[in-house]
Structure 1
């Protein structure tokens, strides 16, 4: 664990809908209950104004720098569902054809209604954290989470030095399967980072409590953001572990 980090808390509210699509869903458009880490990093890159020609280089730099975690601000909600018509844009002449001339198929799409999340963002690089926080206050481009038409309103609610501590209260997701007689949790793995333009790496198993703080039986190593203590996932280290897991450690 690093000696200290620099970071901020950002509250993200979506005034309409959100769909954080599971990449393996096909006939159903399923959504994660919270934004994946790739989605948060993409939002930060958008705020910084990272251009398309150097997009993946910018993403790789952020993945190298950032430590992240998150939680819903309100009670964890169940997704709603709608029936959508999906156009299948196929063929070399798709730009010249009218949308009505393409084949389509019905699909059930799951989405969240007016969700809000709290992101905990930290790094060992104080200058980078200040630049990211300033960009979120005055983004270079309009911000969204998930789909490009799902706008998000963000607010930096705390910024400063993030110190290591021990606590029996977790204000964000926890690594590993956790159990409690008083609080239920949802187990999930989230897209963590891009190993390449086409390859996704996934997080370790995470426990998402239905409400916060999650009471632990014993104090555990945490990071303190103001009055809240959270475990953080170092994207760089988690990527190494994910790659090692895929290759069997060889």
Structure 2
């Protein structure tokens, strides 16, 4: 696989939006981001994978199903996510109805036998809703500008949802941010987004920040699809259980991001997925 630096160079050369990132929150009461290796029991990731986020953005812009994978691969599209509300998971049993062996009239009349499938649901701990902050940039000015206009006007082609269509969500546009040139340092840095494991130096995790003990969780998930829905890249991602920043030694470039939220200046370090 090409190095992340190669992707970064391509992005810098091709993009008319260098240094600009769109920032918005994806919110909702429940979420289910299905793990790719689960079968009869549908387990969920704690946050949306990169493939889910680009699918969300493609839906907001009106791309047809399975038509956008090449347009949003990682040498054109840069995505990061941070978890903004404490989460917990519960198991619920869902009743599914087979639609293959019955006529529509019989299905509507309730004359089919339901199939019960366990479903893991992501819920907020204290807040009324989940909140994931999405950071997005793209080399194509039409895609980038089109998403910015739709975020500003709150007019989307397809409605947002959190993993499955039953969990309808909402989008809160925060602002357009400015990223500084990537840096590479040996010192510990605080990262606000989830972080790729391969971006962290060996023994590069700190387990304390400002007196708080940090608890890290690792999840492996797909990061890119080809047009035939074959996964072309997997990554392992680290996040902090209690919604603290990650304190790491990075062996790759990271970005410093500045933006304004509700008249308040915000500065964060992020690593793209």
Give TM-score, length-normalised by structure 2: 0.73
Does the aligned pair in 1 maintain the 2:195–2:239 contact within 8 Å?
yes
Q: Which consecutive aligned stretches of 4+ in structure 1 deviate over 6 angstroms post-superposition?
A: none
Superposed counterparts of 1:129-148, under 5 Å: 129-136=144-151, 137-148=154-165
Asked whether the equivalents of residues 189 and 202 of structure 1 are also in contact (C-alpha less than 8 Å), the reply is no
- Structure 1 CA distance for aligned equivalents of residues 76 and 215 of structure 2: 32
Query: Which of these residues, 106, 112, 119, is aligned with residue 109 of structure 1?
Result: 119
Distance in 2 (alpha carbons) for counterparts of 1:173 and 1:27 = 28
Q: Return the offset for 1:118.
A: 0.6
CA distance in 2: counterparts of 1:204 and 1:143, whole angstroms? 24
Select between 99-108 and 167-176 the one with higher mean Cα deviation.
Answer: 99-108
1:197-238 Cα offsets, whole Å, 9 max, x none, are 3423443221122223212247862112211110113xxxxx
Which of 3, 10, 18 is the equivalent residue of 2:31?
A: 18
* 1:34-80 deviation digits (Å, cap 9, x = unpaired): 01112111111111122x3xx433342123521011111022x2211
Q: Is the 8 A contact 2:190 2:269 kept in 1?
A: yes
Segment drifting more, 192-201 vs 168-177? 192-201
1:72 aligns with 2:83: yes
Contact in 2 for aligned 1:172/1:212 (Cα 8 Å): no
Give the TM-score normalised by structure 1: 0.79
| Counterpart position of 1:119 | 134
CA distance in 1, matches of 2:232, 2:106: 36
Q: What CA distance in whole angstroms lies between the structure 1 residues aligned with 2:68 and 2:238?
A: 29
Aligned residue pairs total 227
Aligned equivalent of 1:231: 271
Task: Report if aligned partners of 1:6, 1:124 keep a CA contact under 8 Å in 2.
Answer: no
- 1:208-247 residue pairs with structure 2 within 5 A? 208-210=239-241, 211-217=243-249, 221-226=253-258, 227-233=267-273
Alpha-carbon distance, 1:83 to partner: 2.0
